[in-house]
Structure formats: structure tokens, C-alpha cells
Structure 1
């Protein structure tokens, strides 16, 4: 069976519609998927109007959290969609969201300009959607050819964000994590929605394995259920390390491409960067308990 348990739609930061994701899953004969949009479950509303015959879908979400002043993600699998929707709704604050993105927009403009990148005047936050401050800044930067010549990596905004803006070692670092909940609070939210909490892609954050171990130990002490061991950006060494860690601590394992479409053009659905293969045996100990 072909499996991909980490997919994003245009309900968050992917650019494929839910219908397009389902069609691609059918075209690739994927029998088991999870749509794991960031901090929203709206894709599951779309699914009510889409023919998903032949595909088993594990309801899921990916929630942002903070660890040592850096952004991290926890995947919630087999969640109760309506419970999660109510929880996320209770956490919303239009006024707070706009305030947050205005602060971040100012910081991103300042950081980019300090690094010699031209940013237009007059950028403003409109509705406070997540990442609006970064998106406004990067779009402005991409509008100037000299910026791209100086920093070609700007052409992949998602990778540039994670490699630079979310990386404390980078001159482009902006601390968005101060606006997110702790790992424990995030795991508690997933459990409140009757889900299982899996640490998403632990090895993509420029951390040596010793520090990843400490991060996972922290999450495990607050109720972590599993780890995403297979991911498009995990190396062979990362995968072995995470599988060994999960086995040692009796954690469930998951895997997926983290497909977004054009925002992450190097990552393909199902196969990631070409060598991703999630075997059913890896996940059957928890998937077989899902009705």
C-alpha cells in the first residue's frame, strides 16, 4: 500500500486544493493519507464534497509550538475534527493576530534590510493571518532582481524561512516562537481532541542528534505518543536514529512527504525527494486500531 501521512492543502500553506490532493493520491495509487494542515482542519470540510473512494484518510492537523525560542511542530493524528475545530476557534483572536503580525512585519523588514535586501515602503498587515508578516516581506524582496542575485535562496520562500528566519544561528532570525504554545500545551490540545501527538520532522532544524534527543525527551515527558521518523528532509542517518529512539522508548512511528506543492518544489507527494517510502509495517501498530 502506498502511504503519505503528511500532506498540506491551500487551507494552510500548500497551494493544492483538497480536491487536487485527493486526485493526486488516486493518480499515485495512495491508499492511506493524512491531510495535516497547519493549525486548521478546514480541509475536512472540503472532503465532504469529494469522492475519496479507495483512500483511507486519518484525520489530522499540524500544530505549531515553541522549543528553546524556536518554532517546532506537533502532528495530531486520529483527532476528532469537531473537537479540534472548537479548540482552535477558542484560541483565535483577530485583534491579537493582527497585533502579532504587525510586530513580526516590522521585525522582518528590519532584519532583511540589515542584511542588504531591498524592501518596499508602505507594507501593511491586512487580516493577521499566520505568517502574513513574513509573506509580505518575502514578496516585496522577490520584486527586486538585485535581491535575488544576492540571495538566490529567496526563490524558495519556505526553505528560506526555515533555514534562515527560524534558525537562531542565522543573521535573518526572527523569534516567532514567542507567540506559540509550549510543547506540553500543544500535546494537551491534541489529546483533548482525542488524538495522538507525534513530533513532526525532528531532524530538519539544524540540530545535532544529541540535542534532538533532549527535545524528544522533553516532549515525551509531557505525553508524546509518537515520532515522525520518515520525512522528505530526513537523511538515512536521521531515519535510523529516530527509529531507534522510537523503539527504545516505545513510541509510535509515522512518516510522510510534507508535500506543499510549489512552496516546497523539491518535495513530491508520496516520494519526497525521491527516496521516501512509508511501509505499512512501520505504522500498523497504531493505524490498525483506527476504525
Structure 2
């Protein structure tokens, strides 16, 4: 079993990096990758740690980069990256993250005030949580807000992010395109750092036609592969993506998108419930720079 999509406290996960290693060992995972959002902080925390004292498997250096395609924010996973090279670019700077997300949060709080939505006026970015996560959680503290949202948006952070924050017709729209890398730029950065780039969780994006959206990204000839196994992908969708990778000579990856308490139903080492992520998909492209 493997899990190549895991988050820690250096982005919006609840587990410390060393606790991820311990949990992976307990689960008998053969290979993992910590892929925090626009952050390599987990690897800096583990820099002086003897990984094998906690996890006997392979640890692939990774990161989940924010990108944009056709005006929609998406995520690109980079694996086998040189942490020092990524750090030297300044693209995953914590200062840049806080500046951007605090500006987003202020804009959305202004929207709430204009719409007479109830919200806490002392909101701020804490840890590496995104503005959307903080605002959505806060809005749900006040039951009187529920009538202003559809059931899906009210209950799902992903739906709020993908259909409101990413929707130009929504008052919550944020023009993130100017702040994010293009697919080509993200792939070039990952390649510069010696890694391989993969499109993350296709079916997590709210688009009219996922196949067309995927084809438009693949046609850029920038990425090395696709994340096929994921907690948002049914087995039918996983099989479709595995076949797609085979037909288009792309590599396949897979991960749970584990966040700890933020996503309590997502289990490390599994895509959907009781579906383990097989090591075999990693064999064709296993990076050489793994612990």
C-alpha cells in the first residue's frame, strides 16, 4: 500500500510530520509522500530526523502546488522534488501565503457584511489554513446563515470553494488567477527541482465536463501523470483514469488526501473506504531521491 497525498500542520492538516511517519508505519504503508499546500515545511521539520527510526518505507519529497487552468484554480502534485531548489524560488514562501490569504479573507468578510450574513469580526489566518476554510467554518457557526446557501454548499467546503469562490457570478468570487501558477509554470518548476508533476483529484473540480477539462490540460503536454486514486474518486472513475493514463502514456499516482481531523472520514492509505492504493502504480516512475 502507498499514500502519495498527505497533509500535515505545515498546511491545513492536523498531524505533525513525525506523527504521519509513525501512523504510516503502523498502517504498514510501503511508500508515502507529504504534499502540503504550497509548503515544504514538513520536510524542513524532518530535516534532522532519522526517518527510518519512525517509518521503514520510502518517503517521496512532495508538494501540492496551487495553479490555474481556464480560469479555474486547480492543484498540481509534484513528486521527487529537491526541497532546496523549491525553497530557493520563494514560490512557497509563508509570508506570501499569509499576505494573499489575509487579503482574500478581508474581501470575503466585506461580502458577508454587504449580504447581512452573520460572521465573527475577529477572523484571521491561523496556521496554514486557507481563507475559504476559515470563513466557511465560521459561517456555519450561525444557523441563520443556512437559508442563504444550497444544502451542498452549506455542508461542503469543497462545494463552497469550487462553486462560490471560483464562480465569477458569485459575490464570493476571488480572482485567484493572478496569484497562481499556470499548469505549464507549475510543471516547469517541478521539473526544475528534478521531480514529476501530476494533476490532482480531477473529480474534485466543479466543471461541466470532466473529460473535456482533463483533455484540455493533457493537451498542454506539461504534466507527467494523473492522480487516479483519491478519496473523491469512485472505483469507476479510478479505473477510467488508469485507462486514460495507459492510453496517453501518462504515469498514475494515488493518495487519500489525508488531513487528519479536518477530513475525519478520509483514512490514510485508502482512496475510498476499504480501497487500498496499490504500490504497483508507483513502480514505473519511483523517484531515485527517496529516503
Distance verdict in 2 for CA 1:170–1:21, change over 3 Å: farther
1:239-278 maps to which residues of 2 (within 5 A)?
A: 239-278=238-277
Does structure 2 retain, via aligned residues, the 8 Å contact 1:156–1:263?
no
Residue equivalent to 1:216: 217
Q: How far apart, CA to CA, are the structure 2 residues paired with 1:115 and 1:265?
A: 31
The Cα shift of 1:136 comes to: 4.5
Distance verdict in 2 for CA 1:253–1:170, change over 3 Å: farther
The Cα shift of 1:167 comes to: 4.3
Q: Deviations over 1:42-80 (max 9, x none)?
A: 211232325234121111111110112221111111111
Aligned pair count?
Answer: 284
Does structure 2 retain, via aligned residues, the 8 Å contact 1:9–1:260?
yes
Q: Are 1:72 and 2:74 an aligned pair?
A: yes
Flag structure 1 segments of 5+ consecutive residues without an equivalent. none
Q: TM-score under structure 2 normalisation?
A: 0.83
1:1-291 maps to which residues of 2 (within 5 A)?
A: 2-47=1-46, 48-49=48-49, 50=51, 51-87=53-89, 89=90, 92=93, 94=95, 100-112=100-112, 117-121=117-121, 123=123, 132-147=130-145, 158-168=157-167, 171=170, 172-207=172-207, 208-219=209-220, 221=221, 223-287=222-286
Quick check: 260-269 or 165-174, which moved more?
A: 165-174
Quick check: 169-178 or 150-159, which moved more?
A: 150-159
Does structure 1 retain, via aligned residues, the 8 Å contact 2:9–2:128?
no
- Provide the alpha-carbon RMSD of the alignment: 3.0
Does structure 1 retain, via aligned residues, the 8 Å contact 2:80–2:287?
no
Q: How far apart, CA to CA, are the structure 1 residues paired with 2:40 and 2:98?
A: 21
Q: Deviations over 1:127-185 (max 9, x none)?
A: 9x865533443354244243368767678674354444444388454333331111111
Structure number with the bigger relative contact order (C-alpha 8 A, sep ≥ 6) is: 2
The Cα shift of 1:271 comes to: 1.6
Does structure 2 retain, via aligned residues, the 8 Å contact 1:157–1:263?
no
Does structure 2 retain, via aligned residues, the 8 Å contact 1:167–1:205?
no
Does structure 1 retain, via aligned residues, the 8 Å contact 2:7–2:36?
yes
Distance verdict in 2 for CA 1:254–1:22, change over 3 Å: same
Flag structure 2 segments of 5+ consecutive residues without an equivalent. none
The Cα shift of 1:211 comes to: 2.1
Does structure 2 retain, via aligned residues, the 8 Å contact 1:70–1:175?
no
The Cα shift of 1:103 comes to: 3.8
The Cα shift of 1:93 comes to: 8.4
Quick check: 67-76 or 208-217, which moved more?
A: 208-217
Q: Deviations over 1:196-247 (max 9, x none)?
A: 111111222123233233333244x2x2111111111012232122112211
SS in 1 for 2:174: coil
Q: How far apart, CA to CA, are the structure 2 residues paired with 1:267 and 1:170?
A: 32
Quick check: 186-195 or 143-152, which moved more?
A: 143-152
Does structure 1 retain, via aligned residues, the 8 Å contact 2:255–2:277?
yes
